[in-house]
Amino acid sequence: MKKTTSTAPSSPLGAIASITEALETVGYISTQAISTAIYLAHHLRKPVLIEGPAGVGKTDLAISAARALNFALLRLQCYEGLDDSKALYEWKYGKQLLYTQILKDKIGHIISKADTLDEAFGKLTNFQDLFFSRDFLEARPLLQAMEQSAGSVLLIDEVDKSDEAFEALLLEVLADYQVTVPEIGTIKAQVPPLVILTSNNTRELGDALKRRCLHLHIGFPDAALENRVVRARVPGISDRLLVQMVAFVQALRHENIRKPPSIAESVDWARTLILMHASVLDETMVRDTLNVLLKRQSDILAVQDRLGELTREAREAPSQAH
Amino acid sequence: MDRALASFIRALRAAGAEVSTGEAIDAARTVDVIGYADRPVLKASLGLVLAKSTGEKTIHDRVFDQFFQPPAAAAASTSDAGARADAAERLDHGTSGPEDFDPLMALIKGGGGGSGGDRLRSAIARAAAATGVDDIRFPSQIPYYVRQTMEQMGIAPLERRLRDLLLEPSSKTQREAADLATARDSLQRHVRAVVDQRYELFGRPATEDFLADIAVNRQLGRMSSSDQERMKAAVQRMAKRLAIKHSRRRRIAARGKLDLRSTLRANAGHDGVPFDLVFKYKRRDKPRIVAVCDVSSSVSAQAHFLLLFLYALRGTVTDLSTFAFSNALYDIAAPLDTLPFDDAMAFILQEYGSGSTDYGQAFLDLNTRHWDLIDRRTTVLILGDGRSNQNDPRLDLFREMSERAKRVVWLCPEPPGRWGTGDSCMLQYRTFATHVSHCTNAVEIERAIDEALQAYA
């Protein structure tokens, strides 16, 4: 059973390397672990649970994957109190009420020909399902993903923010790619979506959920990877500045701070430096723009004294890199 | 599923990663899709499927390298290709005696590199598996399994021949004897490397678990330093277990009480017709713990472990205040948060543990400086022997504290028989504490803290 899932020959999902390439064309620099995760998710039909610090590109992976594979992206942002009516489906009560009003007039007409109560009841039964049919069903992201016929990426963002009850609800969707609506029946996905869940680890996810997923951990990138990511996201940056700023950020992560800067912050900082027409790092510039990298006042204070040294070391980085 | 994968999963479980049957099946499907050819890809893939937390990822990567690495030590020591060719040549000259160990000889001589090495390794792996080497538990069993594996491979005839040759030494037989001895030693090195690897995979984790089990039940004051190292891991596990147990279900529905505001809001879309009813929830208090730890020299060994527990709990109980005293009370959140445990421990004992014990002073300090921490949600956790050096125990303050707090739990390292003897005030304090328990080992500490957190369930 080498190839259980039918894959169109042109689709990048056929090989791990081509997934990396496809992601790169939309500006997402992938690693082998990330591409392997996408590859396996498709071939084993399993959701991917991505954990890691904020701003390392977890959500972005889902968005980029959708673009690279030309799939529809369905996004479900989780929060405390999220329930099935927001995630799965909801009945369109207003529409149902409206139709009831319209039908009220018609009902007299329909049952007027019935002689007995039983007969009238029988006639009405034929119409009962009308109100609980697909026409009155408002599909929410999970159900929408099941209904896509051309493949889709379902992003369940920050699943750790949701309640445990919602986690349980996800189990059916993720294990069998189906949604059960009691009034209608079970709706099975035409094409299993590529499901990506992200978590910032604000709470430990349930074992049942974890066991059903592939578990991908994305950490802070090393210097080489970060160079490529910033280069892809900020094409206008000069080589010299790029190497220096990445060296600075890498060193900053090793300082004793609460919230180390993430790759998203690096990209923001690169943009900031370009806006300020910097060609090399210098200490005053770093000091002025530090709030782009560090979002906590206590962290900024903690590294205040070390900035001169860190900048100097970062400026010496190019000679080591080549 | 193939044998290698099944065995790899067993090794993972032995190393402490929890791999379920479902994940094992996933792993088999993964191997179907990926294949064994590309090592880095296989490693990444199995890591995705089998390891479900960062801790498990570390375990997985280590075990993967150990497991799929050919035992390197032996290969290196016999990879002298020239000497091998030499030996083969000499063997051709002196052909005599029973031939039934020839295949084995050929196998050994071919070993060391290339396809011959693979053949030798798989032959050893088969023989070792036949002896049940994966059941190995202790390092002392290694020689036994080495011998068993070699016999399984048919070393006996070779050794008989070697003995015969050595009994009647002559210049002609000497060379053959040397040959046989070299081959035998070479095989032994290879087998030894394999058995060592199996011990690392299956035996060591089991031994460690066993020793950790003993350590958590050992009296706190009587621990060797290696026990203490083991305890750290065990205590981490206990703290995590407690955290998982007590972090669940903070809300319970108070059935029957309609939350009118939320109901109206939820049904605004239906013209205010209440289709969805929203009920009120009863919020449970989050655990708030104030731990006060006697670190004077008489109880420092026990204090060590309570502090270890607090250190481990710190990440999981969000509202935790920690204090240490021998007489004056000090907030020890800073050292516990910033220093690695051993340094924090040394710092606390040195800075705060030198004075003469005075419980009254400690309660007075708590009263004047940190009384706002203690309210009806707070559990106060006290570790100490209650020996106040004839100082005023300040029962009035203790009593007031127990009235303010949700619970006061006292962990005492002394057995109940000695409470109230000499300068011990345990009997007076006991009157006002919600729960007093005698704690001598880590398991009892876990139970007592479980008890303390139970109040919030």
CA distance A23 to A65: 6
Cα atoms in the 13 Å half-sphere on the side-chain side of B285 = 14
Looking at the structure, tell me whether residues B174 and B311 fall in a common domain.
no
Give the list of residues 6+ apart from residue B324 with CB closer than 8 angstroms, or none: B292, B293, B294, B295, B303, B307, B330, B332, B348, B352, B353
pLDDT in tens, B252-298: 555 667 888 888 888 887 777 887 788 877 766 677 888 888 888 77
- B242 occurs within a structural domain: no
pLDDT in tens, B38-78: 888 999 999 999 988 888 888 898 888 888 876 554 444 44
Contact in structure between B382 and B437 (CB atoms under 8 Å): no
Closest chain A C-alpha to B453 CA, distance in angstroms: 18
Given B168, B188, B215, the domain boundary residue is: B215
* Residue for token pair 């290969």: B75
Contact in structure between A249 and A262 (CB atoms under 8 Å): no
pLDDT in tens, A191-233: 889 999 999 877 778 888 888 899 999 989 999 999 999 999 8
Closest chain A C-alpha to B353 CA, distance in angstroms: 28
C-alpha B421: how far from chain center: 40
Residues of chain A positioned with their CB less than 8 A from the CB of B269: 93-94
- Quote the DSSP letter at residue B202: I
Please give the mean pLDDT across all residues of chain A.
85
Q: Which domain holds residue B264?
A: 250-283
Test mutation, A44, A196, A199, chain B, max B CBs within 10 A: A44
- Quote the DSSP letter at residue B379: E
Question: How sure is the predictor about A37, in pLDDT bands with cuts at 50, 70 and 90?
Answer: very high
CA distance B1 to B135: 20
Alpha helices in B168-203 (DSSP H): 171-198
- B229 occurs within a structural domain: no
CA distance B276 to B261: 12
CA distance A286 to A292: 10
Looking at the structure, tell me whether residues B32 and B170 fall in a common domain.
no
Question: How sure is the predictor about A49, in pLDDT bands with cuts at 50, 70 and 90?
Answer: very high
- Tokens for B156, please give them: 């006996």
- B241 occurs within a structural domain: no
Look up the CATH number of the domain holding residue B371. 3.40.50.410
* 3-class secondary-structure state, position B323: strand
Looking at the structure, tell me whether residues B301 and B436 fall in a common domain.
yes
Contact in structure between B279 and B307 (CB atoms under 8 Å): no
Question: Cβ contact (<8 Å) for B247 and A204?
Answer: yes
The answer to whether B348 contacts chain A (CB < 8 Å) is no
Q: What is the pLDDT of residue A40?
A: 93
Could you tell me the sign of the dihedral formed by the alpha carbons of B358, B360, B361, B367, in that order? Answer: positive
Query: A98 or A34: whose pLDDT is higher?
Result: A34
Q: What is the pLDDT of residue A154?
A: 93
Identify the closest residue of chain B to A17 by CA–CA distance: B41
Question: Cβ contact (<8 Å) for A93 and B275?
Answer: yes
Q: φ, ψ for residue A157 (rounded to 5)?
A: -90, 135
Q: What is the pLDDT of residue A322?
A: 43
Contact in structure between A212 and A156 (CB atoms under 8 Å): no
pLDDT in tens, A66-97: 999 999 999 999 988 788 888 888 888 788 88
* 3-class secondary-structure state, position B8: helix
CA distance A57 to A226: 12
Q: How many CB atoms lie within 10 A of CB A171?
A: 14
Looking at the structure, tell me whether residues B196 and B264 fall in a common domain.
no
- The residue among B292, B289, B316, B318 whose CA lies nearest residue B303 is B292
Widest CA span in chain A: 98
C-alpha to C-alpha distances, B26 to B23, B35, B95, nearest whole angstrom: 5, 13, 53
Q: What is the pLDDT of residue A203?
A: 75
CB-nearest partner of A210 from B26, B47, B52: B52
Closest chain A C-alpha to B51 CA, distance in angstroms: 7
Identify the closest residue of chain B to A93 by CA–CA distance: B270
Looking at the structure, tell me whether residues B402 and B337 fall in a common domain.
yes
Looking at the structure, tell me whether residues B53 and B76 fall in a common domain.
no
Identify the closest residue of chain A to B58 by CA–CA distance: A217
- B352 occurs within a structural domain: yes
Looking at the structure, tell me whether residues B117 and B12 fall in a common domain.
no
CB-nearest partner of A40 from B45, B51, B273: B45
CA distance B398 to B429: 8
CA distance B147 to B191: 9
Q: φ, ψ for residue A138 (rounded to 5)?
A: -95, 110
Q: φ, ψ for residue B295 (rounded to 5)?
A: -115, 20
Q: What amino acid occupies position A222? A: D
Closest chain B C-alpha to A39 CA, distance in angstroms: 9
The answer to whether B318 contacts chain A (CB < 8 Å) is no
Whether the pTM exceeds 0.95: the reply is no
- Tokens for A58, please give them: 């977890």
Question: Cβ contact (<8 Å) for A211 and B20?
Answer: yes
Closest chain A C-alpha to B95 CA, distance in angstroms: 50
Looking at the structure, tell me whether residues B292 and B437 fall in a common domain.
yes
Contact in structure between A280 and A316 (CB atoms under 8 Å): no
CA distance A58 to A36: 15
Q: Residues A96-100: what's their mean pLDDT?
A: 82
Residues of chain A positioned with their CB less than 8 A from the CB of B248: 164
- B231 occurs within a structural domain: no
Q: What is the pLDDT of residue B220?
A: 61
Looking at the structure, tell me whether residues B391 and B279 fall in a common domain.
no
CA distance B335 to B341: 9
Test mutation, B21, B33, B39, B318, chain A, max A CBs within 10 A: B33
Q: What is the pLDDT of residue B93?
A: 40
Looking at the structure, tell me whether residues B106 and B145 fall in a common domain.
yes
- B415 occurs within a structural domain: yes
Question: Cβ contact (<8 Å) for B26 and A46?
Answer: yes
Low-confidence ranges of chain B (pLDDT < 50): 73-99
Q: What is the pLDDT of residue B456?
A: 65
Closest chain B C-alpha to A128 CA, distance in angstroms: 19
- The residue among B304, B342, B312 whose CA lies nearest residue B221 is B304
Residues of chain A positioned with their CB less than 8 A from the CB of B273: 93, 97
The answer to whether B168 contacts chain A (CB < 8 Å) is no
Closest chain A C-alpha to B42 CA, distance in angstroms: 9
Residue B115 sits at the vertex; the CA angle it makes with B113 and B116, to the nearest 5 degrees, is 70
Output Rg (C-alpha) for chain B, integer angstroms: 33
Residue A153 scores a pLDDT above 90: yes
Given B68, B98, B123, the domain boundary residue is: B68
- B421 occurs within a structural domain: yes
* Residue for token pair 């023989």: B127
- Tokens for B402, please give them: 């127990």
Contact in structure between B73 and B121 (CB atoms under 8 Å): no
Provide the angle, in degrees to the nearest 10, between the axes of the packed helices B39-50 and A32-44. Answer: 60
CB-nearest partner of B48 from A1, A212, A216: A216
Looking at the structure, tell me whether residues B168 and B64 fall in a common domain.
no
ipTM of the complex, rounded to two decimals: 0.81
CB-nearest partner of A44 from B30, B40, B53: B30
Domain count, chain B: 4
C-alpha to C-alpha distances, B456 to A206, B240, B447, nearest whole angstrom: 21, 17, 15
Provide the angle, in degrees to the nearest 10, between the axes of the packed helices A32-44 and A16-25. Answer: 110
CA distance A275 to B197: 57
Q: What amino acid occupies position B403? A: E
Residues of chain B positioned with their CB less than 8 A from the CB of A200: none
Given B215, B233, B260, the domain boundary residue is: B215
Q: What is the pLDDT of residue B105?
A: 75
Question: Cβ contact (<8 Å) for B271 and A2?
Answer: no
**H or E stretch including B435?**
strand B435-438
- The residue among A311, A226, A220 whose CA lies nearest residue A260 is A220
Looking at the structure, tell me whether residues B293 and B320 fall in a common domain.
yes
Q: What amino acid occupies position A151? A: G
Contact in structure between B44 and A32 (CB atoms under 8 Å): yes
- Tokens for A167, please give them: 């986690």
- B222 occurs within a structural domain: no
3-state DSSP: chain A helix, strand, coil percent, rounded to 5?
Answer: 55, 10, 30
